[in-house]
Amino acid sequence: MSAHCQLTGAQPGFGNSISHSHRRTSRRFDPNIQRKRYWLPSEGRYVRLTLSARGVKTVDRIGIEAAVARVRAQGGKV
């Protein structure tokens, strides 16, 4: 599973770990990705979305129908 949110588009950021001696090594900052299952009443089925924690809150706020419409408008498969 890639670290990518279907709704918000959140994906890993990259940077450096800096040690005590100030040596830099590459690292990545992954978003908090969860797989959530929602009931989609208009289609009478469950849909499984890969969402960041912020994406889950967005679905709670706007509703699953609007969220699925947004994912499909971005070209995502649901």
**How confident is residue 1, by pLDDT bands cut at 50, 70 and 90?**
low
Q: 9-66: per-residue pLDDT in tens?
A: 999 999 999 999 999 999 999 999 999 999 999 999 999 999 999 999 999 999 999 9
**DSSP of the chain, one letter per residue?**
--S--TTT----EEEEEE-TT--EEEEEE---EEEEEEEETTTTEEEEEEEEHHHHHHHHHH-HHHHHHHHHHTT---
**What pTM, to 2 d.p., does this model score?**
0.85
**How confident is residue 2, by pLDDT bands cut at 50, 70 and 90?**
confident
